[in-house]
Structure formats: C-alpha cells, structure tokens
C-alpha cells in the first residue's frame, strides 16, 4: 500500500545481490506458531510476538511506477456486482465483499483521487495510486488479479461475492465509498487486498485490523472484535498456503497491525480487514508477487481464512 498520489518516472530494475536475513519458516511450523501466538488474544492488548526474525524498521512507501505491463497469468474478468454462486456449499447464504486496492487508472486522475474525504478520524485522499515493483508491476494490477482468483474460490464454496470495483470505472472508488459498498451489501466479511511499498529487506505479509474509533461518522466498536477474529484466521491460513512469513517490519512478527487512519476500516459497519500480501519493493517478495502460481496460493490462503471465520 502506498499513500503517494502522484506517479514517479519509471524506474529501471536494479541488479544486485540481496542477502536474506532469515529463511522461510517451514509452512506447517509457521502456521502453528501463528495460531499459538494469536489464539486467545485479548482485543484490548497488542498481539503477542511470534518467535520469528524481526527488524525494527518503519514502513516507508516509495512512489509507484506506472507501467501497463502485466505479468504471467493475469486474466481479468468483468463485472463487480454481487453474483450468487448458484450452488450449495459451506459459504451458502454468506456475502463476501472483496475490495481490490487502488485502481489501474488512478495515475491518470490525480485531481480526483487527491480530493479529501472524511474518514471519521480526520480527512484523507479519496484514493492513491498504490505502489509497484521496481520492474513496474503495479499494486493495482496485483490486487485485481488476486481478487479475481479469490472470488472464484469463494463462489465455489457457495458465497455471494461483490467487488468494490473491477477496473470498470475511471478511478477509485474513494475510500469512503469502498466502505459504503460493504455496508450496503451487509457483508459477512470484507477483505481489502493490497501489497506494501516498503524498503528492500523488509519482508513478509501483514493483516491490518480496525482500531477503536468513535469520531464523526466512524464507530468501529461493533466490528473491532469480529474483524480481529477474521484477521487472525487469515494470518494463519495465509502462512500455511503461501509459506510467506509474517512481516519483519510491522506487527512485531505477529502478522497483525492495528490502525485508525484508514477510512475503509473506520467507516465500515461490517467485519473488515486489509491484507498487505508482501512488499513489492523487496526483491525476494516481489519475485513471489509477480508469480501467477504464488498469487493463486495467496488467494487460497485468504479464502481459507474467510471460510474458517464464517464457519465453513
């Protein structure tokens, strides 16, 4: 996720050796550690740290690189309206809203996306361009691809799935509208799909949970608990499915982060989380994010977490 609203000039790929501080923890062990660390966590306390390597870094998103170039396995599908699965399954009767972060055309609409909107705890840009890999694969392309894969998996489980957008509009939607779409759908769960734009060496994924915000149009008190449960489920299943470790720079190794500055969470009246699937500016993470087979694993991990949360 990036909060830069203007695209920078395209960046050339860098050829350099990167020393990875720690290897991936074996999938099953990592998943077990996540559940052990997060089970029974009190919502009023910060999540406990996992015994995984971590670094004390501050996330600093870089300016995105606009490039129309995609990567392997991108097969967009049209339509963002709710589509009942038409079949039974463990998620039959459940509604899930998928919120693909950013929009591929935001780069072309700086005035519109820079417009300030009320997020309860303050005011913020309508939307941002998002980040990208150093080779130009944009976050907006990534989030749409994972979202399409996620929708297919959830519909196979019987869920009714709605998108906040499917690159079918010139920009946005604004963050407050994204929240309203989930609220109007009376979603049983909403997941906003993102990727981070931090520094080289900052590795791993994390799930962002809503903080307690009661200000203006925002009142997250009814959703803080359910959203944390949804987030914990996704963290455990994402580790198991992808082998990606929890972030070593956000969340102290738990894979969880609590924030009050995101309008999409503040204005939600239904359980909602964001997932930063990896760091697009780290060479190891970006290689995974650009892989179609890994994106399928990412979608599977998110889907399994949603299914577990909804009792499927």
pLDDT tens digits for 162-216?
A: 999 999 999 999 999 999 999 999 999 999 999 999 999 999 999 999 999 999 9
Q: Is the pLDDT of residue 298 over 60?
A: yes
Give domain status of residue 1, yes or no.
no
Do 77 and 155 meet the contact criterion of CB atoms below 8 Å apart?
no
Give domain status of residue 7, yes or no.
no
Average pLDDT, the chain: 82
Q: Where are the alpha helices (DSSP H) in the chain?
A: 27-38, 110-113, 139-156, 175-184, 224-242, 263-266, 283-289, 292-309
Q: Is the pLDDT of residue 219 over 90?
A: yes
> For the ranges 53-62, 105-114, 214-223, 296-305, which has the lowest average pLDDT?
53-62
| Helical packing angle, 224-242 and 292-309, nearest 10° | 140
Quick check: helix, strand or coil at residue 236?
helix
Give domain status of residue 298, yes or no.
yes
Using CB atoms within 10 A of its CB, is residue 15 exposed (0-12), middle (13-18) or buried (19+)? Answer: exposed
Q: How many domains, in total, are found in the chain?
A: 1
| Structural domain span for residue 126 | 27-46+87-309
Is 276 an active-site residue?
yes
Question: Residue 25 has which token pair?
Answer: 């923890």
Per-residue pLDDT tens over the stretch 67-85: 333 444 444 333 455 655 5
CATH number of residue 161's parent domain: 3.40.630.40
CA–CA gap between residue 179 and residue 108 (Å, rounded): 23
Give domain status of residue 3, yes or no.
no
Give domain status of residue 60, yes or no.
no
DSSP collapsed to 3 states, 193-210: EEEECCCCCCCCEEEEEE
Residue 11 has what pLDDT?
A: 39
Regarding pTM above 0.85, the answer is no
Residue 113 has what pLDDT?
A: 98
Residue 312 has what pLDDT?
A: 66
Across the range 140-157, mean pLDDT stands at 98
Q: Is the pLDDT of residue 35 over 70?
A: no
CA–CA gap between residue 166 and residue 157 (Å, rounded): 21
Across the range 49-76, mean pLDDT stands at 37
Q: Which of 125, 139, 155, 276 is catalytic?
A: 276
Residue 84 has what pLDDT?
A: 57
How far is the CA of 129 from the CAs of 5, 44, 49, 115, 300, in angstroms?
Answer: 5, 33, 32, 13, 26
Give domain status of residue 11, yes or no.
no
Residue 88 has what pLDDT?
A: 83
Dihedral sign, CA of 261, 36, 241, 201?
positive
Question: Residue 175 has which token pair?
Answer: 């963050």
Residue 12 has what pLDDT?
A: 35
Q: Is the pLDDT of residue 128 over 90?
A: yes
Q: What are phi and psi of 240, to 5 degrees?
A: -65, -40
Give domain status of residue 150, yes or no.
yes
The percent of residues above 90 in pLDDT, for the chain, comes to 71
The closest of 279, 290, 298 to 2, measured between CA atoms, is 279
Residue 75 has what pLDDT?
A: 42
Which of the four pLDDT bands, split at 50, 70 and 90, describes residue 263? Answer: very high
Q: How many residues does the chain have?
A: 312
Give domain status of residue 237, yes or no.
yes
């Amino acid at each position: 996720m990036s909060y830069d609203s203007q695209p920078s000039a395209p960046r050339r790929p860098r050829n350099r050796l990167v020393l990875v501080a720690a290897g991936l923890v074996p999938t099953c062990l990592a998943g077990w550690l996540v559940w052990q660390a997060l089970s029974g966590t009190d919502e009023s306390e910060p999540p406990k740290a996992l015994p995984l390597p971590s670094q004390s870094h501050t996330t600093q998103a870089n300016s995105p690189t606009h490039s129309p170039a995609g990567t392997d396995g991108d097969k967009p599908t049209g339509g963002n309206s709710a589509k009942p699965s038409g079949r039974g399954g463990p998620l039959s009767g459940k509604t899930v809203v998928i919120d693909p972060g950013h929009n591929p055309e935001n780069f072309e609409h700086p005035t519109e996306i820079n417009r300030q909107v009320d997020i309860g705890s303050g005011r913020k840009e309508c939307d941002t361009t998002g980040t990208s890999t150093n080779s130009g694969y944009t976050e907006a392309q990534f989030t749409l691809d994972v979202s399409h894969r996620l929708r297919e998996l959830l519909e196979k489980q019987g869920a009714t799935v709605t998108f906040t957008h499917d690159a079918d509009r010139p920009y946005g939607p604004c963050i407050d509208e994204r929240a309203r779409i989930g609220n109007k759908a009376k979603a049983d769960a909403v997941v906003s799909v993102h990727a981070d734009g931090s520094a080289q060496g900052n590795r791993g994924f994390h799930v962002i949970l809503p903080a307690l915000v009661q200000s203006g149009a925002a009142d997250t008190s009814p959703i803080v608990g359910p959203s944390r449960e949804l987030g914990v489920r996704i963290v455990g299943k994402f580790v198991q499915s992808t082998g990606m470790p929890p972030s070593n720079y956000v969340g102290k190794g738990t894979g969880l982060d609590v924030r009050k500055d995101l309008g999409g969470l503040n204005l939600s009246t239904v359980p909602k989380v964001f997932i930063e699937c990896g760091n697009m500016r780290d060479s190891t993470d970006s290689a995974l994010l650009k892989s179609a087979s890994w994106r399928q694993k990412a979608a599977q991990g998110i889907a399994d977490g949603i299914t577990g949360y909804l009792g499927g």
